[in-house]
Structure formats: structure tokens, C-alpha cells
Structure 1
Amino acid sequence: MTANIALEKVFDRQGLAEKEFGHGQAAQSGNSDTEDGANSDGPTAETEQAAWDWNEDPHNPYNWPSATKAMQVGIIASIAFVASMGSSIMSAAIEQLKDEFSVTTTQAILPLSLYVFALGLGPVMGGPLSETVGRLPVYMGGLIGGTLFTLGAGFTHSFAGLNILRFLAGFCFAPSLAIATGTINEIYKPAKRGLPSTLFILTPFLGPGVAPVMGAFLVHRKGWRWTQYAILFFCALSLLLIVPFGRETFHAVVKRRRAKKLGHVVEPSIPLRAKVQLFLTITIFRPVLMMFTEPIVGLACLYVSCEFATLYTFFAAVPYIFQTVYHFSLEQTGLVFLSVVVGCVLGTVTILLCDVFLYRRQIPRHPPHMIPPEYRLYPAMIGSLGLPVGLFWLAWTARSDISWASPVVALVPFSWGNLCLFISMLQFTVDTYTGTVIASATSANSLSRYGLSGAFPLFAIQMYTRLGINWATSLLGFVSVALLPVPWIFFKYGKKIRALSHYETPTY
């Protein structure tokens, strides 16, 4: 514990926790003999340094014009959409992959699952790297790398090559999903983050809903390779946005560059060994430890991961259900996933309404910035009811004597509850912990979420074949019922649970 705290202090001195410069007060002395200030008729470097206030500096992302901020959100949203659509756009290609590469059903699902696994592993490298070199290089490098690997996946004639390239594409795209929340926090102050954060988080949820629709039409009319080419079109759009309009948002990097330009003394970089040790602590060792020792992190990871995995199970199960029971064509099956899109939109509306009418009403009742994290749980509590309703509805109405419309509509409350649960639990976790512990807690969530989500589709068809549609889906419903009390328990006993934490948490 002591070693971790010491490392985090070094991390802060590096400037990665936005404490590198004290509003222009650091290094106000010691530069009087610089060439810029020696023979200048105008303001000296000392004058510029003394007058520099980071809070008022136009280069501070908080002070950017609204249009510039909106553009940055649009850029990261477009990349996040590309990353998420890649996870499900091949769900309709299983039969074609089986025929072309002579593989089994489980093997044909591997390109999808490996991509999802990579989404969980990519942030392990991309997150810390973005706090060293900045967010923008990670966005651009990941986007370019993901584009090239996706291009390779579309042209390969080797099944092993397809799996490797899909994994590498997901690994490159993944950091954009992990660091985007940090980007939004760096350009919007807390009071104004609600709307842009919610609208951004909607995009990676829309990807798994829209992509299977696109994939079904592309696979049926053009072949599975066009699913990869379609991703390239969206990659090109993101590149056209980020190259001319993308800007660095990480405060420590922006402040360092600004300080150098004004002649401030910049502290030397910390040793590589300390960086590596801190990286291993924050992104690998501590997330795993927190999953097993922190009730809030462990239960949140378990609940969110199981419901996310259920969503990804449907990428294999929905075609099986609607082609077996209702004899849907490939394109008709793809259209079923529009229900997921509808549910995500309704979930976004629910979260915004809870924020306006439930969370913000707590502001006058508590000291500034001291609202208990439990008030973030309203959407999760509401959404937890929609998850089992949707699953049991789907389980027992997917019958030939009942219209196909009923199981299609059943996906709406499930996806609505899933989005409400994910965003609410994430906000609760972020408000519960402080400093670099937040990164570890969210990293734990990402690793567990995508780990289970990649694994579930691999046995989905076998489960539905042996248990039947009714009981296989009901099994997923029973899991959601078992985990339903989690947000309710956190809401009622959250303060007591937080007090038991090994890390610093709010006492209010």
C-alpha cells in the first residue's frame, strides 16, 4: 500500500494527475536569464510567467469554444462507434465462414469473440500511454492501426490470419472506448458533463445494435468480406474528422507544452522503471485485486459483465431463434437487432431524466461536490427490473404460435435496462473512488466485461440447442434476477460499504 501511494505521488509530480503546474506559480523564478527575456522591449518571460493563469488560459480545454468542444466529442464518438460496430458486424457471417474455411460453428464465432477479447485488453496499454504522450496520438495511432488490420482481415484467405487480424484490429480500436470518458472530463466541467457524457456513451451501445443489421445485408448480398470494408468507410470518416479538427485534451500534456512555450521550468520526466511499476499497479495488479477485495468493484463488475455477456450471446442466439422458429431470412434476422437500438435510445432518455429530476435535486441539499455516490444508482435500480422482464418475455414467447413481434419487442426492455445499468454503475464507481484508483476500478470493469462477452457467444448455440430456446434464455433471466438486488443494496447500504474499503472513498 505504501509503495503504491509513493508511486502515485511520483505520478502526480510527472503531471499526469494535473498537478504539474500550480496555475502558473511553478517556476516563476529561475528564468530571468533566458534569452527571451534578456533583451526584449516587450513583456519579459518573467512577466509572462507571473501573469499566466492556467484557469484563464484559452489553451485550457475548459475554456475552448462550445463548437470546438462539440467537435471533439463528435470525433471520439465516431471512433467509439467504429470500435463497437466491429464487435458484432460479423455475427451474420458464421455460415459463410464455415463454408469457406471448413470450420465448425464454434470456430466460426472466433473472429467475433477474439475482437471482443481485444476490446478488454487494448485499454491496458492505451490508457497509460495516453497519460504519457497525450490522448490525441493514441486516438490517431489506434485508428490508423485498426484501419490497416481491418483492411487485412477483409483480404485474408487464411482463417488463422483472419482471427489474428481481427484481434489486432480490436486491440487498436479499444483504447478509444477507455480514454474517451477522460477526454470528456477534460473539456467539460462537472456541471456540464451530463449531456455530452450520456450522448457519447450511447454511440458504443448503438454499434452492436446497428452493425448486425448492416452485416446481415452485406453478408447476404456481397459476402462476409464486405463487413470489413464497411468498417473501413467509417474509419475513413473518423480520419477525415480527427486529422484537421482533433486537438489534445489531456491537461498535463497541454500545460507542459504551454509552459515550455512561455519559458517555464518543466520538471524532468520520472524514471522509466517508476513508470512501468506504476503502469503495472494501476492497470493490471490493482484492478484484479479490487475485483476480489472491493465489494463495490467486484459486484459491479459481475453484474455489468453478465448482462453485457448476455447481449453478446444474442449475436449468436438471435439468428438461431428467429431462423429456427420463424424461418426468417438472413436480412430479416438482422433487422431484429433494431430493437436493441430502440432500447438504447430509451435508456439514454431514462438516464437524462434521472439526472435532471433525481440527481440534480440533491445539489441544494448537500454541500458543493459532496452528493453521495448512491444517488447515481437510480437508473441502475430502474433498469435492473427491465433486464429479467425482457429475458423471460423473450424466452416464453419465442414460439411458432405467437407472433414474431413479441420476442422482437422483448429485446427492447432488456437493452434499455442494460444501458441504464452500465452507465449508472460506472458513474457510481467513478464517484466512489478518487485519483488513480478510479482508473483501476474502471479497468477492472472493462477487463471482466469484455472477457465474459467474448466467451459467451462461443457456447451460445450449444446451450440453445441442448436446453431449448425457452430454458436457455430463462437461464440468462435467472442470472439477472440473482444480481438484481445489487444496485438496491448499494443504494441502501452504500455508505457503510464504502467505509469498509481499503482505498480512500467519500465519507458523506
Structure 2
Amino acid sequence: MTSKESIDIEVQIREPDSSESISDQIDDLTNSWDAPDNKENPRNWSALKKACHIIPVSLLCLSVTAGSSMITPGAFAIARKFHVSHTAALLPLSLFVLGLAIGPVLGAPISETRGRGIVYKVSMPLYMLFILGAGFSDSFAGLLVCRTLAAIAGAPCLAIGAGTVADLFEPSSMAAPGALVVMAPFLGPCLGPVIGGFAATYTEYRWTQWSTIFLALAAYILVLPTQETHRKVLLKRKAQRMGLPPPEPELPPREAIKMLLTITLFRPIRMLVSEPIVLLYSLYNAFTFSVLFAFFEAYPFVFMGEYGFNIWQYGLTFLGIGLGVILGALGAVVVDLTVYQKFVRKGGDRIKNKGPEQRLYIGMIGDLCLPIG
């Protein structure tokens, strides 16, 4: 046997051992990640550090949804400037809400592969630039286009905010931080008319857009120091530092596009059609959201037309809805402590089979309060 043949045989023998060693290291990396003493795992961070990641994200969500309604007190000025009807002047609000539905479809898949941080830190500057364009627009069409694109750019934070909560907390302890992240997008539309009412009364409607940028910029500055929280991305980075291949290899571009179409786009549609709980819950949320945004068009006719309020006084009427949003979030925490946590403490298969339904009681209470309100 020649020395070359001997070397080839030796390599063939060693290769499986080397491969097995790398596989073992990857398994050790994945298994050790969930250890309670692993400070790289966001779920093991201190309560203060978690708060420093949840609060900025909540404020980011609040700033985007506040931007949706902040322009409504300026609808009368928009109608005069562009010579359109009052109904047409409300299109900057309506198209913004449409953009909020489109943005998450694009942002959520990116956050699952590239991380939460890059979505927050890239989408928000685009959002502010489009709002800037809306403020400087000298045509009604330009205003509508910029507002729609701004919503698409700003909406991803609304979709992945819940993902950040899931990165930081165990499912059994997500109620309080989850309530904060859910409260913020609903509190934003209530604060928007309050700020926009003063801006439209004492300046011009363009200041509703400048105020939107100031609010978004303040939230964005708080987000900049935050770290990545997504488990998959953090494991990949640690594997790279250790010289290991990623635990979950990246798909080729063609396969990634196929996965985007089949899982991200078509699977939610299929679930919406085939899963009754998803369909009914989506209809419930859509209805409550539509009622909230219908107020932005109805309140001026009621409070300005019937009660003689001026623009900034009409904006203050939304503080009542804001108070209701805060009470709803507190109610969710109370229901979690009094119902769900008791269920968790009993443990066993019962929590796996019937635990999630215990979180729906706050929705049932809200379902009764909505028509009363």
C-alpha cells in the first residue's frame, strides 16, 4: 500500500469522527442555551434589563399608531388646502390603517431570520422619512402615497413586539409585559388626536406630521441601545464565534422564497379559513379595531357639530378611550393573576390542554363592555 493510499484511508476514517464532534458541540450549544445560569439567554436577563427592552418597543408601537390618528384634527385644514371633501380628507387616516395591515406581512418573516433589532432599527427611519414627505407634500395624492408608505414601513414593530415579549419571558409570565405591548398600539390612536388637536388649532395641519416625527424619534432613540433577543439569531452568532456551523442552516434563496410564500403568506390564510377559533378571534379583533377608528370620523360630527367643541377640545374627548385601554390592560393582568396563574400552579396535562383558554376571560369581559361603551 502506498503512502498516499494510507493517507486517504486515514482521512476517511477521521472525517466521521470530526463531523460527529461538531454535531456534539452544536447540540451542547443548543442544550446549554436554556440553562438558568446562561446570561446570554434573554429569558435569564434581570427584570431591569428586560424592562429596558420592553418599554422602548412599546413606545415604538405607540408612536406608530399615534401617527395614524394624529392627522385627523387637521382634516378640515386638509380639505380646504387641497379643495377636497371632508370625507376625502379622511383618506390619510384610512390608507394609513390599510398600510398597517400590509407592513407586518413583510417585517415578520425578516425578524424570524435576521432578528428583531434590525427590523426596529431600519423600519423606523423609513417611517419617519415618509412622514416627513407627507408633511412637505404639496399635492393631495402625494400626501396619500407618503402616508400609506409610512404605515407600511412603521407597521412591522406592531407585529414583532409580541415576539420580543416571547423572547424575554416564559409563556406563564407573559401577561404583564404582554399587556403593555398590546396596550400601546391601542393607546396610541387615543393620544394622537389629543396632540394633533393642539397642533392643528394653534399652527397648521403640517405640524400634526412634525409632531408624529418627534414622537417616533424619541421612541427610536430609546430602541437604539437595545440588544437582539431572538433565540435563533443569538445561537447563530454564538456558533460563529465558536467557529461552528449554525444550528439551523440557512435555506438557499429559492427555498427561502418558497418558505416565505407557503408558510408566511398562505398558511395564515389557510388557518383563517379552516380554524374556527382563528377566524372568530380575528373577526372580534377586526370589529373592535374598526369601532375604535370609526370614532375618529364620528367624534367631530358629535362633539363639534352638536356640542360646539373646537378642534383641541374635540381631541381631548379621546382621553376617555385611552383610560378604557389602560383599564383593559390592568384587567388582563388581574385576570391572569386570579385565573391563569392558579391554573398554572396546578400543572400537569391540564395546563397543556386547557391553559390557553383561561386567558380569554378578559376578552369575554371586554365583549360585554364594548356595546355598553
Whether these two folds match at TM > 0.5 is yes
Alignment pair present for 1:375 and 2:348? no
Using the alignment, how far apart are the partners of 1:52 and 1:282 within structure 2?
27
User: How well do the aligned residues superpose, as a CA RMSD in angstroms?
Assistant: 2.3
Counterpart of 1:29, as a letter, is S
1:199 deviates by 1.6
Using the alignment, how far apart are the partners of 2:29 and 2:288 within structure 1?
54
Q: 1:334-375: CA deviations, max 9, x gaps?
A: 111000111111111211111111222222444164251222
Q: 1:248 maps to which residue?
A: 228
Using the alignment, how far apart are the partners of 1:218 and 1:82 within structure 2?
16
Q: 1:340 maps to which residue?
A: 321
Alignment pair present for 1:385 and 2:368? yes
1:209 deviates by 0.9
Q: Map of 1:132-143 to 2, 5 A cutoff?
A: 132-143=113-124
Using the alignment, how far apart are the partners of 1:91 and 1:27 within structure 2?
62
Using the alignment, how far apart are the partners of 2:83 and 2:243 within structure 1?
64
Q: 1:51 to 1:277 in 2, by over 3 A?
A: closer
1:163 deviates by 0.6
Alignment pair present for 1:261 and 2:241? yes
1:147 deviates by 1.0
Q: Does the aligned pair in 2 maintain the 1:28–1:264 contact within 8 Å?
A: no
1:64 deviates by 2.0
Q: 2:214 maps to which residue?
A: 233
Q: 1:357 to 1:160 in 2, by over 3 A?
A: same
Alignment pair present for 1:168 and 2:164? no
Q: 1:338 to 1:281 in 2, by over 3 A?
A: same
- Aligned residue for 2:69, secondary structure, equals coil
More helix by share: 2
- Aligned residue for 1:273, secondary structure, equals helix
Using the alignment, how far apart are the partners of 2:213 and 2:371 within structure 1?
37
Q: 1:456 maps to which residue?
A: none
2:331 to 329, 341, 350: 350
Using the alignment, how far apart are the partners of 2:158 and 2:20 within structure 1?
38
- Aligned residue for 1:370, secondary structure, equals helix
Alignment pair present for 1:86 and 2:67? yes
Q: Does the aligned pair in 2 maintain the 1:31–1:263 contact within 8 Å?
A: no
Q: 1:306-327: CA deviations, max 9, x gaps?
A: 1210110110101111112111
Report the TM-score, using the length of structure 1 for normalisation.
0.66
Q: 2:263 maps to which residue?
A: 282
- Aligned residue for 1:340, secondary structure, equals helix
Percent sequence identity is 37
Q: Does the aligned pair in 2 maintain the 1:146–1:169 contact within 8 Å?
A: yes
1:51 deviates by 11
Q: 1:74 to 1:225 in 2, by over 3 A?
A: same
1:272 to 236, 244, 253: 253
Using the alignment, how far apart are the partners of 2:237 and 2:207 within structure 1?
43
Using the alignment, how far apart are the partners of 2:170 and 2:228 within structure 1?
17
Using the alignment, how far apart are the partners of 2:148 and 2:53 within structure 1?
27
- Aligned residue for 1:87, secondary structure, equals helix
Q: 2:54 maps to which residue?
A: 73
1:106 deviates by 2.1
- Which consecutive aligned stretches of 4+ in structure 1 deviate over 3 angstroms post-superposition? 49-52
Q: 1:29 maps to which residue?
A: 21
Using the alignment, how far apart are the partners of 1:293 and 1:52 within structure 2?
36
Q: Does the aligned pair in 1 maintain the 2:104–2:155 contact within 8 Å?
A: yes
Paired residues in the alignment total: 351
Q: 1:362 maps to which residue?
A: 343
Q: 1:28 to 1:187 in 2, by over 3 A?
A: farther
1:296 deviates by 1.0
Using the alignment, how far apart are the partners of 1:355 and 1:52 within structure 2?
30
1:377 deviates by 1.6
Unaligned 5+ runs, structure 2: 1-17
1:130 to 99, 111, 124: 111
Q: Does the aligned pair in 2 maintain the 1:129–1:138 contact within 8 Å?
A: yes
Q: Map of 1:38-437 to 2, 5 A cutoff?
A: 53-56=32-35, 57-243=38-224, 245-266=225-246, 268-367=249-348, 369-370=351-352, 372=354, 373-390=356-373
- Aligned residue for 1:281, secondary structure, equals helix
Report the TM-score, using the length of structure 2 for normalisation.
0.89
Higher relative contact order (CA 8 A, sep 6+): 2
Q: Does the aligned pair in 1 maintain the 2:96–2:148 contact within 8 Å?
A: yes
Counterpart of 1:124, as a letter, is V
- Aligned residue for 1:167, secondary structure, equals helix
Using the alignment, how far apart are the partners of 2:213 and 2:190 within structure 1?
18
Q: 1:60-103: CA deviations, max 9, x gaps?
A: 11122322211110121111011110111111111111100011
Using the alignment, how far apart are the partners of 1:108 and 1:264 within structure 2?
57
Q: 2:7 maps to which residue?
A: none
